[in-house]
Amino acid sequence: MVVAPYYTAMTDHPCIDFGAAAPALAHALIGATLLVDGVGGVIVETEAYDGDEPAAHSHRGPTPRTAAMFGPPGHAYVYRSYGIHWCLNFVCRESGHGAGVLIRALQPTHGLDTMRARRGLTDERLLCAGPGRVGQALGITAAHYGLSLCEAPFDVRAAPADVPVQVLTGPRIGISQAQDLPWRFGLAGSRYLSRRF
């Protein structure tokens, strides 16, 4: 009797659990691939935000801007940062809570020329190293507000289960509230982070 070789399902795309709590989803997204109209790369940095906690936009309840955070998980919450940059979040958990994950940095892998044109840069390391840069490189605008992450133009694929990723954690960047929460997550050793951990 021949024993079949053990192998993992490399060709399958494990589903992402958008219904998880924000920190769990933020951790799970490290190593996943995010494409918008075929342009994007590997997620190397995220931050979790939760309505229970004062740094989140959703903390004081829904507003016209934050309505998507109170909608179903697995959709996009897009906001304008400092009136200038478009930033992309993945809504998570069940509706009514207001939780999401900010996509802070990607390792560019798809559509480099498009991203270089949008960013007006050639340096690959700086194409998606920061939430505003990710938004510009991926062409994120208000048109993406509230869209499902499981349908075009979005394409989110979990990291292959057999590839181990070491995830770093630390305090979130650019906030003045809840600075003690270690809700920033990053891929260890990546040169595409917005800042060192």
Partner DNA sequence: AAGTAGATGTTCT
Partner DNA sequence: GAACATCTACTTA
Least Cβ distance, residue 65 to DNA (angstroms): 3
Q: How far apart are CA 157 and CA 65, in angstroms?
A: 27
Structure-token pair, residue 81: 């940062």
Minimal distance, residue 10 CB to DNA, in Å:
33
- DSSP alpha helix (H) spans, 67-186: 112-119, 131-138
For the CB of residue 135, give the shortest distance to DNA in the complex, in Å.
Answer: 8
Q: Closest by alpha carbon to 187, among 45, 34, 42? A: 45
Closer by beta carbon to DNA, 46 or else 160: 46
- Give 167 or 175: the residue with its C-beta nearer to DNA: 175
Which residues have CB under 8 Å from 48's CB, separation 6+? Answer: 21, 22, 23, 25, 26, 99, 101, 102, 183, 185
Q: How far is the CB of 7 from DNA (least distance, A)?
A: 38
Catalog residues that contact DNA under the rule CB under 7 A: 47, 49, 55-58, 60-61, 63-66, 69, 77, 79-85, 87, 89, 100, 102, 119, 121, 126, 130-134, 172-177, 194
Q: Are 197 and 170 in contact (CB under 8 A)?
A: yes
Instruction: Identify which of residues 84 and 163 has a Cβ nearer to DNA in the complex.
Output: 84
| Residue whose CB is less far from DNA, 13 or 80 | 80
CB atoms within 10 A of CB 85: 16
Of 62 and 153, CB closest to DNA: 62
Q: Closest approach of Cβ 120 to DNA, in Å?
A: 8
